[in-house]
Amino acid sequence: MGFIVHRFTMKFLIFLLMISGTGSLLAQKDTNADSGRISNMERRTKKQHQEDNNFDPSFLRYTDFIYKESITSVIFRREGWELTPPLITYGSEERLLLSFDDLDGDYSVWQYTVLHCDAEWNPTDLWQNEYIEGFTDDFVRDYRFSYNTLQRFTNYSLTIPNENFKFTLSGNYILKVYPDGQPEKPILTRRFMVVEPRVTVKGVVKAATPVDLRFTHQEVLFSVYTGNYKISEPYRDLKVVVQQNARWDNALWGLQPMMLRGEELDYRYTDGTNTFEAGNEFRYFDIKSLRYQSERVRSFDNRTDGFHVELQPDKNRATTPYITYGDINGQRLIKTEDANDATIESEYVWVDFFLPYAAPVTGGGIYIMGALTDWQFAAPGNSPASASGPGRMEYNFARQGYQARLYLKQGYYNYLYAYLPDGATKAETALVEGNRFETKNSYTVLVYHREPGSRYDRLVAAEVVGN
């Protein structure tokens, strides 16, 4: 109780100093609606200048991002379920587990908070106490030091909601972790969703209907069934998003119902509106053990700077026949067969990738895409947005191919090679992987509803469909 009072007293004193510096509370209200909210003007300004400020380490990105270069192996999923997205059901016992490593190897005091977002991942203007029950910020209390590894690191973990921290609204959220008392200096942000099931989604995935896309793209055909849930103006109040695997760069936004039939909202477009590049099955490699060479490992050795693994050279699959095999749709599984506790006993390994290519591509770059690079193309830390991202490959003229080296924790990994045009945010798979309509992909349909007079988007359905 003393701690709570102390923190409240400190915040109250700071609040008084802010008032004295600005003249009056009334004047402060006139210039910034409410100090506890983000105004619409601020939201538009943030969005307008986002690209210009991406190099600023203090600039908050409403996406999955790592701001501190020593932070790695960020896992965010439903507790108790490997390889699940950060999605839980409102009012249930489900919780989210965050785990990350700090390669500095020392103990640091981290805090966290969450920020509510609308359907397009822009911050809402809600007060935090409108969507959080308990403390609006708290400490990351669980940590463990690495054991018997060459690379020293500290693993931190957090589960939400918890006894100090609960959600009172559904929708999109950003989890922000930052140094003690420095919320303006985040070390990582992660997206997550809280769904409040009110409608039902039924759908299928099939080869695209348009003739020119028939063998290269997939279309997601689905309907939303409202049942007893009232939606007075679906064209105005509903927002539907379709996500392929765990990617956000190619998500479909702003889909409108093609037809209304009683309780059914029909989104079964056949004109290419709801199509995705089909891509190819994800490539994979296994470094769960450093005692033997697995299928995709060419060589490994222990050098002065740590373990090094060289993968077998990859092949361009743009024109090769489709081959089906099981994959985990770009995810990763942190695991070691050389010790008992994968969280703190897994080694970090330098992994070398090589993709033979006759000449460098122009107008863009080749990237390694998947959970191993956080599905990101921007560089971590304070690098500018145009800098090489975590998975950007460099062309080696002597070897005639693209190469990259990643520092990864032991485990099983999926990945693809993607082409990202200069200035674009959506990656393409056709150039290196090819697009095969038979590819097994997972699609998530997210349905948001903003009731008349409401200031936030409720997430009323999150259904996975696949082929």
378 band by pLDDT with thresholds 50, 70 and 90: low
Nearest residue to 220 (alpha-carbon basis) of 239, 200, 240, 238: 240
Are the C-beta atoms of residues 247 and 375 closer than 8 Å to each other?
Answer: yes
Token pair recorded at residue 432? 């290196």
Angle at 71 between CA 462 and CA 60, to 5 degrees: 60
* Residue 433 domain-assigned (yes or no): no
Asked if 158 and 217 sit in the same domain, the reply is no
* Residue 435 domain-assigned (yes or no): no
Asked if 382 and 330 sit in the same domain, the reply is yes
* Residue 431 domain-assigned (yes or no): no
Asked if 62 and 4 sit in the same domain, the reply is no
pLDDT reported for residue 22? 38
| More confident call, 385 vs 128 | 128
pLDDT reported for residue 49? 40
Asked if 258 and 363 sit in the same domain, the reply is no
* Residue 430 domain-assigned (yes or no): no
56 band by pLDDT with thresholds 50, 70 and 90: low
Asked if 103 and 47 sit in the same domain, the reply is yes
Asked if 292 and 353 sit in the same domain, the reply is yes
State the residue range of the domain holding 175: 38-195
pLDDT reported for residue 20? 41
Are the C-beta atoms of residues 137 and 109 closer than 8 Å to each other?
Answer: no
pLDDT reported for residue 1? 41
Asked if 321 and 366 sit in the same domain, the reply is yes
Report whether pLDDT(32) > 80.
Answer: no
CATH number at residue 459: 2.60.40
pLDDT reported for residue 390? 74
Asked if 382 and 304 sit in the same domain, the reply is yes
pLDDT reported for residue 45? 38
Residue carrying structure tokens 């090589």: 354
Query: What is the average pLDDT score of the chain?
Result: 88
- Give the pLDDT confidence of 419-460 residue by residue, as tens digits: 999 999 999 999 999 999 999 999 999 999 999 999 999 999
Token pair recorded at residue 69? 């270069």
Domain boundary among 195, 222, 251: 195
Are the C-beta atoms of residues 435 and 278 closer than 8 Å to each other?
Answer: yes
- Give the pLDDT confidence of 8-20 residue by residue, as tens digits: 444 444 443 343 4
Report whether pLDDT(382) > 90.
Answer: no
Domain boundary among 195, 214, 230: 195
209 band by pLDDT with thresholds 50, 70 and 90: very high
Angle at 63 between CA 59 and CA 64, to 5 degrees: 105
The H helix count followed by the E strand count for the chain is 6, 30
* Residue 432 domain-assigned (yes or no): no
* Residue 429 domain-assigned (yes or no): no
36 band by pLDDT with thresholds 50, 70 and 90: very low
Asked if 460 and 404 sit in the same domain, the reply is no
| More confident call, 224 vs 385 | 224
Report whether pLDDT(364) > 70.
Answer: yes
| More confident call, 51 vs 89 | 89
pLDDT reported for residue 380? 52
For range 145-152, the mean pLDDT: 96
Report whether pLDDT(250) > 60.
Answer: yes
* Residue 329 domain-assigned (yes or no): yes
> Sign of torsion, CA 319 324 330 336?
negative
Nearest residue to 66 (alpha-carbon basis) of 381, 311, 447: 381
- Give the pLDDT confidence of 283-308 residue by residue, as tens digits: 999 999 999 999 999 999 999 989 99
* Residue 13 domain-assigned (yes or no): yes
Report whether pLDDT(113) > 70.
Answer: yes
pLDDT reported for residue 12? 41
pTM of the model: 0.85
Nearest residue to 61 (alpha-carbon basis) of 113, 132, 123, 111: 123
Asked if 60 and 163 sit in the same domain, the reply is yes
Asked if 8 and 81 sit in the same domain, the reply is no
Report whether pLDDT(41) > 60.
Answer: no
Token pair recorded at residue 423? 């200035």
For range 396-418, the mean pLDDT: 97
Asked if 449 and 384 sit in the same domain, the reply is no
pLDDT reported for residue 466? 78
CA–CA separation, 379 and 385 (whole Å): 7
Task: List Cβ neighbours of 39 (8 Å cut-off, separation of 6 or more).
Answer: 32, 33, 125
Q: How many domains does the chain have?
A: 4
CA–CA separation, 429 and 69 (whole Å): 28
